[in-house]
Amino acid sequence: MQTYEEMWRNLGLNLDAHEGLLKALSGFYSSIYASQKNRPNAMKYFDFVISEVHGLRIKELQEAKAQGKKVIGTFCVFVPEELILAADGVCIGLCAGAEAGFELAEQYLPKNTCGLIKSFFGFKLARLCPYANSCDLVVGETTCDGKKKAYELFNEFQPVHVMEVPQTKSENAKSLFHSEVMRFKERLEALTGTKITAERLQKTIQIVNNKRRALNRLNELRAAPIPPISGLDSLLINQIAFYDDPVRFTNAVNELCDELEERIKNNVGVARGDTVRILMSGCPMAIPNWKIPAIVEGTEAVIVGEESCVGVRNTRNTVAEGCKDVNEMLKAITERYFQIDCATFTPNTERLNHIVEMAETLKANGVIHYAIQFCQPYTIESKRVEDMLASKGIPLLRLETDYSMQDVEALKTRIEAFKELISP
Amino acid sequence: MKIAGLDVGSRAIKLVVLQKGECILKKEVATGFDYVQEVQTLLEEIQPHKTLVTGYGRHLLAQHMGFEHVTEIKAHAKGVHNLFAEVRTILDIGGQDTKAISLNPNGRVHSFVMNDRCAAGTGRFLEAMATSLGCSIIELNALALRGSNDFSINSTCTVFAETEVISLKAQGANPADVARAIFKSIAQRAASLLNRLSINPPLCFCGGVARNKALVQELKAMLHMPVLVPEQPEFTGALGAALLASMT
Ligand code: SF4
Ligand code: SF4
């Protein structure tokens, strides 16, 4: 057992509170993940990575920093990872999936702010996040109003570069986003001192595309009649995608997929073929937000997909490869990111169609729409999701909840009743 | 063969025992701290051949005693359909939650909604309101039946509603009128929950809170539809559980 105390102290963490957090996290993790049956062998890698979430990976970041690399933290899948890597930076998706430091956060933010925003403030103020404290730059974006305004306050603690993400998919909006991609590139070059050349960018486009392809491969395998992997494990992998080394991670996912293909061939899985299949859709579930999936799979249903940013919204499209120069590549990056169907856009009809498409290909018996309490974009859009799914005869359960555990019993009742309703 | 249906709620444990399809026993005890023990005592003398459990305590009992379990939604649907086959909509107000269920003509659940996390409009809310008027729930109901329609309580939050009740009292309002306003506010909450479903008449109102005639009246007026209340509205969940147990 390695101790990282020295490193955490140097990062300015509150050691006592941090220890408490790690204990709670590992207890929560083992109570949820250890009780799963028949997990694929290749999950060992991801179990290890999560067990070292504040350890080994942070050490790697410090080593990278010692070599002069810069660590860049992001909060949204609109921030192009390939640019960060091409500037020789390390890209970390900051998670914000737990109720920590909320009292401190509420000194800055109104009570009715979504848990995700409160959480990234809380972690920072309570000095609990070694990732945030390793960052040389945090990248924000103008997506929802909550985040947009919160970054102004966050900037007091740590420099934030805010990318302007538009609200519609018009041509004008696209050219605005394109100029923001260019501005981000310049900011990165200035920060890291590394010029983003065609050669470098071509390589990192490939790296990130390969990561997406591996995750998409995983997602496609979940359409098998006997689900080869649980939703909880798939979610964990999608969560780890945001902070692990991309190349190593991609290899691990591909290895897992090889095993899953074997499983499918041999009719081996985590549940029987007649198990109720659920598609999750909605807000991102950042580590360690496993609350709803744990309840769903605790009722012996299986989650077969995540229509979410910690899920296919992050991986679905790839950046066109084979561009000749940096300008073309930046255009290709703009094109790819501009397809993201986030609820902060209006209208967001692509998302509605995509949910239907996913429910059909994954043969889901029903969809659970998940919104973090006080998230306006997703809670409001859930009505349109409901209408769309109703028109296709796909059952939907809408849930709105926060990171606390107070409503677990009530959620269980709703989820079980939904399962009773859609059981074949 | 005796078949038992148990509804382990946040406030009370309800038991219904069937024999040859006939109900031979209904019993209710308050939910205490160790409800597994309480259930064991309840069942000791009955020795049912089969028990099915519903309600908020269902998981713990399933785990400790190996009973099968269903949600309250399914249990209420079954119980109500057995009592009133024509019912298409159910409102169940229990100790800490409110459920609206719409049924297909064959009695199966079509869709359902539950109140959000706060206790407004539930049995607990009613208790808090009675306390702030310094009376019991039974007295509150009797008062409200005599009350006029002059006031309303607008807060949906228990804490704020309490403040409103206290300030109405301070203004010298007639307690009967305030009591009526309390039931009106619960009916409003229930109606807005029901309106999230596409509801068909007739409606069955069950759960312990359905014993309050004052609330039934407000609901009828607000929903413009017949409201049926079982003779012992707190037992529909347990009855449904027993009926489901005898089917399998
Ligand atoms: S939901 Fe929207 S704002 Fe949130 S991470 Fe995803 S793309 Fe960004
Ligand atoms: S969950 Fe909703 S409110 Fe919260 S940060 Fe994301 S888009 Fe904004």
pLDDT in tens, A128-163: 999 999 999 999 999 999 999 999 999 999 999 999
pLDDT at A221 over 70: yes
Q: Examine the domain organization and report whether B223 and B201 are in the same domain.
A: yes
Q: What is the pLDDT of residue B117?
A: 62
Residue A413 near chain B (CB below 8 Å):
yes
d(C-alpha A386, C-alpha A28), whole Å: 32
Residue nearest to atom 2 of ligand 1 (CA): A342
Q: What is the pLDDT of residue A274?
A: 94
Residue nearest to atom 2 of ligand 2 (CA): A375
Q: Examine the domain organization and report whether B103 and B159 are in the same domain.
A: yes
Cβ distance B117 to A410 less than 8 Å, yes or no, reads: yes
Ligand 1 centre to CA of B119 (Å) is 32
Atom of ligand 2 nearest to the CA of A145: 8
**Share in percent of chain A as helix, strand, coil (round to 5):** 55, 10, 35
**Residue to substitute from B73, B90, B109, B122, interface A, most A β-carbons within 10 A:** B73
Query: Using CB atoms and an 8 Å cut-off, which of residues 125-164 of chain B contact chain A?
Result: none
Cβ distance B117 to A421 less than 8 Å, yes or no, reads: no
From chain B, the residues in CB contact with A420 under 8 A are: 70-71, 73-74, 109
What average pLDDT does the segment A310-319 reach?
97
pLDDT at A164 over 80: yes
State the DSSP string of B102-118.
EE-TTS-EEEEEE--SS
Q: Examine the domain organization and report whether B77 and B141 are in the same domain.
A: no
Cβ distance A409 to B56 less than 8 Å, yes or no, reads: yes
Q: Examine the domain organization and report whether B162 and B100 are in the same domain.
A: yes
Q: Examine the domain organization and report whether B72 and B118 are in the same domain.
A: no
Q: Which amino acid is at A117?
A: I
Ligand 1 centre to CA of A9 (Å) is 32
Residue B71 near chain A (CB below 8 Å):
yes
Q: What is the pLDDT of residue A254?
A: 98
From chain B, the residues in CB contact with A414 under 8 A are: 112, 114
d(C-alpha B97, C-alpha A267), whole Å: 42
Q: What is the pLDDT of residue A143?
A: 96
pLDDT digits (tens, 9 = 90+) for B36-90: 999 999 999 899 999 999 998 999 999 999 999 999 999 999 999 999 999 999 9
What average pLDDT does the segment B14-31 reach?
94
Residue A421 near chain B (CB below 8 Å):
yes
pLDDT at A1 over 70: no
d(C-alpha B4, C-alpha B233), whole Å: 18
Of A401, A407, A420, the CB nearest to B71: A420
A246-265 helix and A198-221 helix, angle to the nearest 10 degrees: 30
The answer to whether B203 and B179 have CB atoms below 8 angstroms apart is no
Domain count, chain B: 2
Residue B238 near chain A (CB below 8 Å):
no
Supply the DSSP symbol for A78.
T
Residue A153 near chain B (CB below 8 Å):
no
Q: Which of A342, A345, A372, A385 to mutate to test the pocket of ligand 1 (most atoms within 8 A of CB)?
A: A342
Residue B244: which CATH number? 3.30.420.40
Tell me if residue B181 falls in helix, strand or coil.
helix
Residue B73 near chain A (CB below 8 Å):
yes
Q: Examine the domain organization and report whether B70 and B135 are in the same domain.
A: no
State the DSSP string of A353-393.
HHHHHHHHHTT-SEEEEEEETT-HHHHHHHHHHHHHHHHHT
In angstroms and rounded to an integer, the radius of gyration of the C-alpha atoms of chain A is 21
pLDDT digits (tens, 9 = 90+) for B114-165: 987 667 778 888 998 999 889 999 999 999 999 998 888 887 777 788 888 8
**Residue to substitute from B117, B122, B124, B196, interface A, most A β-carbons within 10 A:** B117
Class of the CATH domain delimited by A202-318+342-422:
alpha beta
Residue boundaries of the structural domains of chain A = 202-318+342-422
Q: Examine the domain organization and report whether B14 and B129 are in the same domain.
A: no
Structure-model confidence comparison of residues B214 and B117, the more confident one: B214
Cβ distance A417 to B112 less than 8 Å, yes or no, reads: yes
Q: Please, what is the average pLDDT of chain A? A: 96
Cβ distance B114 to A413 less than 8 Å, yes or no, reads: yes
Q: Is the CB of A117 under 6 A from ligand 2?
A: yes
pLDDT range class, residue A2, cuts 50, 70, 90: low
Q: Examine the domain organization and report whether B208 and B101 are in the same domain.
A: yes
d(C-alpha A28, C-alpha A18), whole Å: 15
Q: What is the pLDDT of residue B172?
A: 85
Q: Is the CB of A147 under 6 A from ligand 2?
A: yes
pLDDT at B242 over 70: yes
pLDDT at A79 over 60: yes
pLDDT digits (tens, 9 = 90+) for A94-119: 978 999 999 999 999 999 999 999 99
Which residues span the domain enclosing B96? Answer: 88-229
Q: Examine the domain organization and report whether B130 and B22 are in the same domain.
A: no
Alpha carbon of A396: minimum distance to chain B alpha carbons (Å):
10
What average pLDDT does the segment B204-226 reach?
94
pLDDT at A200 over 70: yes
pLDDT at A241 over 50: yes
Structure-model confidence comparison of residues B149 and A360, the more confident one: A360
Quick one: three-class SS letters along A49-69? Answer: HHHCCCCHHHHHHHHHHHCCC
Q: Is the CB of A96 under 6 A from ligand 1?
A: no
d(C-alpha A372, C-alpha A367), whole Å: 16
CA atoms within 13 A on the CB side of A226: 14
Q: What is the pLDDT of residue B158?
A: 76
Q: Which of A373, A189, A202, A359 is nearest to A279 (CA)?
A: A359
Q: Examine the domain organization and report whether B115 and B189 are in the same domain.
A: yes
What average pLDDT does the segment A246-261 reach?
98
pLDDT above 70 covers a percentage of chain B that reads 98
Q: Please, what is the average pLDDT of chain B? A: 91
